[in-house]
Structure 1
Amino acid sequence: MALTPEQRSLRASIAANVQWSKTADRTAHTAPAREAFLSRFEREVDPEGVLPPQERAKRAESARKAYFQRLAFASSVARSKRRSTEAA
């Protein structure tokens, strides 16, 4: 049986809620993913690993902020486009 996109989304949401209902420590459960995500920025700003740890962390924090600002900007542009097409 082929599922619609809405049905697949609902099935995934159910599975996620079942998983979280069985997870005692959410922070510990998601720690490996958070660490992998944040280390991406350290590799981005210091691919050779030559910077002192404090400088690498400072630059990685700036790279992380820029990443989220780019996402916010893209979201803002998309909302503006959507509003302009709805008004037309």
Structure 2
Amino acid sequence: MTPEQKISQTRTAAHRSWAKTPDRSRRTAPAREAAEARFEREVDPDGVMTPQARALAAASARKAYFGELARRSVAARRRNAAAGR
């Protein structure tokens, strides 16, 4: 199987799986919770902050993380455009 065929097969399987998922939010909840916990551990590794302070700091860490992803995405698109891709 070529890489392109494997990608196509995988995408089809993913779409079938999501088509059978009645509650998408419930299915993705563990991943969202894990991501939130990661940001909370990042800003308060010793668990000394109040829950409110930790939540605010985690929200800022999350915004910084996704802002950096966006910046990298823009840079990659510019490189690809310059390379004619």
* d(CA) in 2 for partners of 1:83, 1:23: 37
Shift of the alpha carbon at 1:21?
1.5
TM-align CA RMSD: 1.4
* d(CA) in 1 for partners of 2:59, 2:48: 17
- Structure 2 match to 1:38: 36
Larger CA deviation: 11-20 vs 57-66: 11-20
One-letter amino acid matched to 1:33: A
Aligned residues: 85
Larger CA deviation: 56-65 vs 31-40: 31-40
One-letter amino acid matched to 1:73: R
* d(CA) in 1 for partners of 2:35, 2:83: 35
The gaps in structure 1 that reach 5 residues or longer are none
TM-score (norm: length of structure 2): 0.92
The gaps in structure 2 that reach 5 residues or longer are none
TM-score (norm: length of structure 1): 0.89
4+ long deviations beyond 4 Å? none
